[in-house]
Amino acid sequence: MPISGFPEWLPSQRIIEQRVLDRIRSTFELYGFAPLETRAVEPLDILLSKGETSKEVYLLHRLQEEEGAKREDQLGLHFDLTVPFARFVTENHGKLQFPFRRYQIQKVWRGERPQEGRYREFLQADIDVVNRDTLPFHFDTEMPLVIGDVFRSLPIPRATILVNNRKICEGFYRGLGLEDTAQVLRTVDKLDKIGPEKVAAALVETAGATDSQAAQCLRLAEISATDGSFADRVRALGVTDPMLDEGLAELLQVVETANEHAPGLVRAELKIARGLDYYTGTVYETLLEGYERFGSITSGGRYDNLASVGNTRFPGVGISIGVSRLLGLLFGQDALTVSRSVPTCVVVALPSDDRRAECDRIAAALRGRGIPTEVAPTAAKFGKQIQFADRRGIPYVWFPGEPDTVKDIRSGEQVEADAATWQPAPGDLHPNVFAR
């Protein structure tokens, strides 16, 4: 039986997923990110040290476990890839070259209530850069470029990366005279869920804001622009603070660098905050055209305080693509399709059982030149062999003979062929993935 929240794809969907992952990986590698995998489990104290997400942790117990295992020995499944990465860096910093750029594509687990595009087991694809002591800001400007290149390489709708900077919010709230900036941030973060009236009321009630301060917070959150004009609109609100200025300058750099690389890729969106996370400056989200109502398909940002060893800090910036989330949404709308459900490009027809060795040699010759090939499972007539290929979307059937022939079952064209030299059309070698 399917288990709610633990999605499984059929083979044709898995072929699409693999193609998507290949593109993600090759784009990450074009930017010099090195591959990394961390174990699936972390000690519970590592998982709990990051706050509220801990509610969703899956703990592990051995079936035959001795009673009363101590809590510090407890292991849980990781719920993201950033916390394990930070742990890996602190554990291995002596063996790494800094700045350390890594990508990590792995399953993560959360004991959340499942809903469309939200799973308990899901695949994430993360990039991060960490450095020792300080991390230059230009790495914050690079993240959207990588993600933009990934999305442009995929047969999916247009993606817009939303960017904000927590220093803008925090500086603005402080410049307004609000003390508990974290509480203000958490409250404003609920804007899309509960609407402006309730946010204003909550700001007055829980964050000590006056009505006028609450209104200003909402005005800030309304600002959105694909160019540098957001900064003027913030300044027009008349609030000043050094941290606000710093945040505006940083966000401007991100927007301008992105506009040079790919106009329209990035939008400054001053309401996003990623409330419960460990970010300290830039924050990123991504909306997919036509799927905006399902929320963001990436999450990320700058984190200056996630990892440290003694007095040495390892600040970082990163972004995570929710691969299962993205594919779940697209599969749900039947938005992606693939030309076949198997890697096989050629089926070698088996005229009779005593000719299997001959067919195996033909298959070996084709495979030796990189052409995915199967021999038919049983001897059968012409029509059955065609049907075998057709049901799987395999484009070619090979008929051993004197001479051998190969048939493109889509066009019906059949030509003489030699297994030592024949080539399929280049587009037929591997399954093709399309937007539907």
Strand pairing category for 100-109 and 34-35: parallel
101 is in an annotated binding site: no
Q: Half-sphere exposure (CA, 13 Å, Cβ side) for 104? A: 25
Interaction of residue 58 with its own copies, rule CB under 8 A: yes
Interaction of residue 57 with its own copies, rule CB under 8 A: yes
| Gap between the Cα atoms of 35 and 56, Å rounded | 27
> Cα-atom radius of gyration of the chain, to the nearest Å?
27
In whole angstroms, the minimum distance from the beta carbon of 260 to its own copies comes to: 7
Q: Which is nearer to its own copies, 99 or 196 (CB)?
A: 99
CA 182 to each of CA 76, 162, 220, 275: distance values in angstroms, whole numbers, following the listed order: 28, 21, 16, 9
Interaction of residue 51 with its own copies, rule CB under 8 A: no
- Which residues are CB-neighbours of 44 under 8 A, at least 6 positions away? 57, 59, 71, 72, 74, 75, 76
Residues in 147-166 that interact with its own copies by CB under 8 A = 149
198, 177, 176, 178: which is closest to 187 by C-alpha?
Answer: 198
| Gap between the Cα atoms of 87 and 81, Å rounded | 10
Q: What are the tokens at 21?
A: 């992952």
Q: What are the tokens at 397?
A: 């059937």
Q: Which residue in 20, 24, 88, 164 binds its own copies (CB under 8 A)?
A: 88
Interaction of residue 434 with its own copies, rule CB under 8 A: no
Interaction of residue 99 with its own copies, rule CB under 8 A: yes
Three-state SS for 325?
A: helix
Task: Identify the bridge partners of residue 163 per DSSP, sorted by sequence position.
Answer: 268, 284
Strands in 270-413 per DSSP E: 282-288, 298-303, 308-309, 312-313, 316-322, 336-338, 346-348, 373-375, 396-399, 405-408
Q: Which is nearer to its own copies, 1 or 212 (CB)?
A: 1
408 is in an annotated binding site: no
274 is in an annotated binding site: yes
Q: What is the DSSP string of 2-44?
A: --TT-----HHHHHHHHHHHHHHHHHHHHTTPEE----SEEEH
128 is in an annotated binding site: yes
- DSSP-assigned letter for residue 382: H
Interaction of residue 91 with its own copies, rule CB under 8 A: yes
Taking CB under 8 A as the rule, which mask of x and - marks residues 68-87 in contact with its own copies? -------xxx----------
Q: How far apart are the first and last CA of the chain?
A: 29
Taking CB under 8 A as the rule, which mask of x and - marks residues 216-255 in contact with its own copies? ----------------------------------------
In whole angstroms, the minimum distance from the beta carbon of 324 to its own copies comes to: 11
In whole angstroms, the minimum distance from the beta carbon of 35 to its own copies comes to: 5
Q: Are 23 and 91 in contact (CB under 8 A)?
A: no
Q: Which residue in 113, 198, 235, 391 binds its own copies (CB under 8 A)?
A: 391
Q: Which residue in 238, 377, 412, 426 binds its own copies (CB under 8 A)?
A: 377
Interaction of residue 356 with its own copies, rule CB under 8 A: yes
Residues in 259-298 that interact with its own copies by CB under 8 A = 260-261
- DSSP-assigned letter for residue 121: E
Amino acid at 1: M
Interaction of residue 32 with its own copies, rule CB under 8 A: yes
Q: Which is nearer to its own copies, 7 or 328 (CB)?
A: 7
Q: Which stretch binds its own copies (CB under 8 A): 3-11, 187-195, 313-321, 404-412?
A: 3-11
Interaction of residue 352 with its own copies, rule CB under 8 A: no
| Gap between the Cα atoms of 203 and 217, Å rounded | 9
In whole angstroms, the minimum distance from the beta carbon of 121 to its own copies comes to: 6
Q: Which residue do the tokens 């990366």 mark?
A: 161
Q: Which is nearer to its own copies, 138 or 410 (CB)?
A: 138
Q: Give how many residues touch its own copies by CB under 8 A.
A: 81
Q: What are the tokens at 345?
A: 């490009």
Q: Which residue in 147, 150, 330, 371 binds its own copies (CB under 8 A)?
A: 371
Q: Which is nearer to its own copies, 61 or 436 (CB)?
A: 61
Residues in 101-130 that interact with its own copies by CB under 8 A = 101-102, 107, 109, 111, 121
Interaction of residue 33 with its own copies, rule CB under 8 A: yes
In whole angstroms, the minimum distance from the beta carbon of 14 to its own copies comes to: 5
30, 8, 12: which is closest to 107 by C-alpha?
Answer: 8
279 is in an annotated binding site: yes
In whole angstroms, the minimum distance from the beta carbon of 367 to its own copies comes to: 4
The alpha carbon torsion through 128, 131, 133, 136 (nearest 10 deg) reads -80
Annotated binding-site ranges for L-histidine: 80-82, 110, 124, 128, 274, 278-279
- Name the binding residues: 80-82, 110, 124, 128, 274, 278-279
